Structure 1
Amino acid sequence: MPVARRTDAVLLLVALVWGSSYLAAKTATAALPVLAVLFARYAISALACGALVASRHRTRRWSRDEVRTGSVLGVTQATVLVLETYGVAHTSAANAGLIISLTIVLTPLMDRTGGRSLPPTFFLAACLCVLAVGLLTSSTGLHAPRLGDVLMLAAAVVRAGHVALVGRLTTDRPMDPLHLTTAQTVVGSALFLPAAVAHLSDLTRSSATTWTQLIYLALFCSVFAFLAQTWAVQRTSASRASLLLGTEPIWAVAIGISLGGERLTVWSALGAVLMIAGTHWGQTIERTHRTTAQTVQEYTECRMTTPTGA
């Protein structure tokens, strides 16, 4: 298989895995308390990352920046997963995957590095996403949004802040992705351990099905997805990577309906279409605007440094 096709396949697999994580988390939280699920997910991930670090032929020493940055990002990532996991426990997996995709349009609003202003069309795309959320949260008629939908909205906001923070803390700083991931999983395990102690007996008595879901969330949705994404992004363009990873909400809806037995009403189906269209439109606008701004900046710097004739 050519390298380009293999890279595309890996990115689509990451999007599929992330899309399936909502149904897996929803099913796991039906059998165990949310905090027990989160601790198990983090602890298994930490053990797997530790094993990968130890298995390296040449052990690269940890830097202070990696420990410090990984610890900070571990706290923000844990906050995202708390909101996501509680949210998906109180709404459908399809809704959860669609609402969290708001991160795509929220992140550029929070990431102000470089002082770049966004074009007006980007805000039109964001408004389309807001309309989509309204349709998703009131799909059976006008009523107050469900708790799970509100929590997923909060998760999208915090996740966007987390993504912006990742860019701010790691730009122009050489850091090992595996070290960062390991630090985040260790911090998450430490954060959830005190709250999960009371539920450890429930965890040990869990069925094989529940443990399979926990291991899937940890090894595939966390460790594999992050490392595979990093590997693939290094072998393709950022535009193509974001396009393929942007299919995550589509997989979330497909898996929620086909495997989870969930149903979409006419209004929620319209909301799903508008959400996918709005996030894709916003993503395209932001990517084009960023590329154009970088080209203009490079051209300006080149003109400033090029000596003029006498």
Structure 2
Amino acid sequence: MSKQKSALWMSDLMLLAVAMVWGTSYGVVKGALVLYPVLGLLALRFGLTFMVLSPSLRSLRHVSASALVGALGSSVILLGIFLTETFGIAHTRASNAAFLISLCVALTPLVEWVLLRRKPSSSEWFAVGLSLMGAAFVSGGVIIPSAGDALILLAALLRALMVCVTKRVMRESELTPLAVTAVQAGVVALGSALVVCVLPSQHWQALPSFTAHADFWASIGYLVVACTLFAFFAQNFAVKRSSPTRVALLMGSEPAFGALFAYLWLGEHLSVGAWFGGALMVLASVLATVPFKGGANAAIKMRHATSVDA
């Protein structure tokens, strides 16, 4: 039992690290989009990721067809997430995007209940309530979404679906987190390139030079290594060992990191109420890691049941 708890806490720490790097990614992407269009940026980021992870695809030779279909299905959802999220970031503030995407925390328990038949515990619902309260403070109590905001909200719904689908996919014992990450990266890169073919040509431009735009390539390196290679491996690793709702709650600290980075990096300013709302979201994430009887222990029991099913 203690070994299971140790693994759960390790996955929790990895998810908090993912929340931090993904929070900073909004500001980094916002800056990179000044020099390169959305689809080209996605194809470049995930194409490089796929190249680095391609050796892990050898492990798929002995994977069942159903497991491979599941991995491809989750990859298509991920493509939808990044298309809506990145186009949304291009048309709204980085801090606004970081907070709006956190609504996936409130949506995940509902999606998990429908898809995985796991009713969230009372402590999880309490943490979800704190996240929603925080979102209300951030928005001033009313959200009138712009086009960019609406795309971010759609991305939040797709994120909730994604973490639950990934939970099902990672039940397949022959699928490794690295191989799944490689498949996801390849599908996003290929999908972004294909979408370019049906959109105006300005979405595909010559790459900025290394010498004149060193900041751009530093941003690409950070997005590939920290926000993609590490983050998606950590998320796939953690989902296999925890519940989707717990994963979503731990990721709820992402908007606070995103707002702080947008303030420091892009000079965006938030009201006192917005910072208070961000603090509530971080508190919800901390509460998600506390081993309540219905929280962590339930997640451990679910992980044990999942391993038996697999």
- TM range, smaller chain: 0.7 to 0.9
Equivalent residue for 1:204, pick from 198, 202, 207: 207
Which stretches in structure 2 are left out of the alignment for 5+ residues?
Answer: 1-5, 305-310
- Amino acid in the other structure paired with 1:101: S
Corresponding residue for residue 276 of structure 1: 282
Q: Distance in 1 between matches of 2:161 and 2:87?
A: 19
State the match for 2:93 in structure 1: 92
TM norm structure 1 = 0.74
Shift of 1:233: 8.2
Q: How does 1:213-224 map to 2 (within 5 A)?
A: 213-224=219-230
C-alpha deviation, 1:281, in angstroms = 5.2
1:45 is matched with 49
| Match of residue 138, structure 2, among 129, 136, 139 | 136
Q: What is the Cα deviation at residue 200 of structure 1? A: 7.2
Letter of the 2:265 partner, please give it: L
CA change 1:176–1:279 in 2 (3 A) is closer
Q: Deviations over 1:78-127 (max 9, x none)?
A: 11111111222222222222222222332121012563334567556545
**Cα distance change, pair 60–278 in 1 and its aligned pair in 2 (3 A):** closer
Amino acid in structure 2 at the alignment position of 1:270:
F
**Change in CA separation of 1:121 and 1:10 when aligned onto 2, cut-off 3 Å:** closer
Does the aligned pair in 2 maintain the 1:94–1:256 contact within 8 Å?
yes
**Residue in 2 that maps onto 1:164:** 164
Q: Is the 8 A contact 1:66 1:179 kept in 2?
A: no
Residues 61-90 of structure 1, C-alpha deviations (whole Å, 9 max, x = no match): 352344322211111001111111122222
Aligned match of 1:302: none
- For 1:27, the aligned partner's letter is G
Partner of 2:260: 254
Residue 293 of structure 1: how far off its partner (Å): 8.8
* Corresponding residue of 1:36: 40
Deviations 1:125-174 (A, max 9, x none): 545544443443358xx783333322222211110011111112332543
SS class of match (2:178): helix
> What residue in structure 2 maps to residue 102 of structure 1?
103
- Report the Cα offset of residue 263 of structure 1: 0.8
Q: Would the aligned equivalents of 1:135 and 1:271 in 2 still touch at CA under 8 Å? A: yes
User: Could you tell me how far apart the structure 1 residues matched to 2:206 and 2:60 are?
Assistant: 35
Instruction: Give yes or no for contact 2:138–2:277 (8 Å, CA) kept in 1.
Output: yes
Show CA shifts across 1:243-272 (max 9, x none): 865543332222121222111113322332
The answer for unaligned runs of 5 or more in structure 1 is 299-310
**Does structure 1 retain, via aligned residues, the 8 Å contact 2:289–2:296?**
no
Which position in structure 1 is the counterpart of 2:3? none
Whichever residue aligns with residue 84 of structure 1, its letter is E
Corresponding position of 2:307: none
Aligned counterparts of 1:278 and 1:154: Cα–Cα separation in 2: 22
Largest Rg, 1 or 2: 1
Matched, 1:26 2:30: yes
Give the conservation status (yes or no) of the 8 Å contact 2:166–2:236.
no
Aligned residue for 1:307? none
Identity rate of aligned residues, in percent? 29
Deviations 1:9-49 (A, max 9, x none): 75554332222111111111222221111111121111111
Give the count of matched residue pairs: 288
For residues 24 and 223 of structure 2, the distance between their equivalents in structure 1, rounded to whole angstroms, comes to 9
Distance 1:104 1:129 in 2: 7
The one-letter code sitting in structure 2 at the alignment partner of 1:196 is V
Contact 1:121/1:285 (8 A) holds in 2: no
**What amino acid maps onto 1:22 in structure 2?**
Y
Distance 1:49 1:286 in 2: 37
Q: CA RMSD in A?
A: 3.9
Q: Do the aligned partners of residues 186 and 287 (structure 1) sit closer, same or farther apart at CA in structure 2, a change above 3 Å counting?
A: farther
